[in-house]
Structure 1
Amino acid sequence: MGGGKFMRKRLWRWRSNPLRRHDDIVEAWIVLAVWAVVAVGGTAAGLVTAHAADETFARQRAERHSVQAVLLTDVSDGTSSVRSSSDKALATVRWTAPDGSTRTGQTLVDVGQPAQSRVVLWQDDQGALATEPPSPTEAAVEAGALGTLAGFALTGVVYALGALARWRLELRRVDGWGREWDLVGPRWGHRTT
């Protein structure tokens, strides 16, 4: 019983009513449009973003390859001025690129390794150093998180625009009430005797 009364209250803007104003109808359509865009658009934005991120991670896994490199310098606690929070230090390394050429560069490696130690690096198809691509599980989790974030971002923007439109309608209603009161209000002060 209580549910029917609740629904009648919620859907009052859609019923034919002599007290219903044009702004009430506009507000009802705004609310409906916001919820439709949130439901459909938020889901679509999330799915498209997750799919695009997953494809990017898959491409990274296909383009990046691990390679054995040789440390050219000792990596001790005081060797490098650049330190990361995970006990890594910047060191010079040498590796062989896919075209067979020998390259040298700097990358973060574990602290405490002597010169001539072997380390595993990641390179792209051109032989440039790259970060390790995410595993399929890590990629799925990150793609899902990015998709969720995109869906929520679109939802937030649409909800804010809907709230702004409803606020403008409310200002218009208040101004209309003010104009009507200016016409009717002075008549209330007169006594009829």
Structure 2
Amino acid sequence: MNRQSRQSQRTRLRKLGWRWRRNPLRRRSDLVEAWLGVATVVLLCATPALGWWAGSSVDRALQRVVRTENAQRRLVPATVLDPPDTTTPVVADKVGTADPRRGDLLRWKSPDGRSVYSATVPGDIEVWRKGGIWLWTDRSGELVAPPLDSATAATHSVLAGTAAATSAAGFLMIVRQLVMWRLMSRRLTSWERDWARVGQDWGRAGAGG
């Protein structure tokens, strides 16, 4: 039984490797197909490394953004003005892009305390901390979006690496299918020529002799 199993395995290996051996039935397209299979396997094995490299590159770039934004943006306390306090000197009045009825009219100072601002601030950019309302501003006191945090940056990096590896693998398979389609087309054309040539002598006595 073991001997038969070994013989069967050798037979399968010979069938798989027939394109690599010189024989009258092997065409150039068969050899190209064999090398194409090897190249596809090698490149597919390299796609995880490509994804890791892409993810690492994105992570380095985003972590620089995290450090920069955290250095340039500050949380400042804000107070609710309802109704607006018109007696307080205000440097600049700004109205948020959201519906004012959905936000609060807030007053805050710049990080250095020199300027006072008031604006209708949408509720989704308010930060509740230490029992009060805090807002993210730049160094001059202008409202800005919250800085990017490290966890979000890491998540984006993983997604970027996964997308890069998946896209590379998908592109590789599409290229392989196009090459295979071209090889099959040429193979069918060659078979048609051979059959046309053989058909001229088909059934004649002594044909091929």
User: TM-score when scaled to structure 1?
Assistant: 0.70
Matched residue type, 1:70 = A
Q: Which runs of 5+ in 2 are unaligned?
A: 1-5, 83-95, 126-130
Q: How does 1:44-193 map to 2 (within 5 A)?
A: 44-65=49-70, 66-70=74-78, 82=98, 89=102, 95-97=108-110, 101-102=115-116, 108-110=122-124, 118-123=132-137, 129-136=144-151, 138-190=152-204
* Identity in percent: 30
Does the Cα contact within 8 Å between 1:91 and 1:107 map onto a contact in 2?
yes
How far does residue 183 in structure 1 lie from its aligned partner after superposition?
Answer: 1.0
> Alpha-carbon deviations, 1:106-162, whole Å to 9, x = none?
764259xxxxx94334456775612441333x4333312220110110111111111
Conservation of the 8 A alpha-carbon contact between 1:90 and 1:109: yes
Look up the match of 1:27.
33
Which whole-Å CA distance do the structure 2 matches of 1:6 and 1:105 have between them? 77
Shift of 1:91: 5.5
Shift of 1:67: 0.8
- Mark the CA change 1:59 to 1:108 in structure 2 (over 3 Å): closer, same or farther: farther
SS at match of 1:129: coil
Compared CA separation, residues 128 and 179, structure 1 to 2 (3 A): farther
Cα distance in structure 1, aligned partners of 2:136 and 2:12? 61
Superposed CA offset, 1:72-129 (max 9, x none): 667xxxxx9958xxxxx55665555556655566764259xxxxx9433445677561
For 2:119 and 2:16, how far apart are their aligned partners in 1? 66
> Partner of 2:196: helix, strand, or coil?
helix
Structure 1 range deviating more: 90-99 or 50-59: 90-99
Moved over 6 A (4+): none
Pair 1:81–1:121, CA change in 2 (3 A): closer
The normalised TM-score by structure 2 is 0.65
RMSD of aligned Cα (Å): 3.7
Q: How many residues align?
A: 177
Alpha-carbon contact 1:64-1:124 (below 8 Å) kept: no
Return 5+ residue gaps in structure 1 as ranges: 75-79, 84-88, 112-116
How many Å separate the matches in 2 of 1:165 and 1:72?
67
Paired amino acid for 2:75: V
Once the two structures are overlaid, the 10-residue window that deviates more, 20-29 or 8-17, is: 8-17
- Report the counterpart of residue 77 of structure 1 in structure 2: none
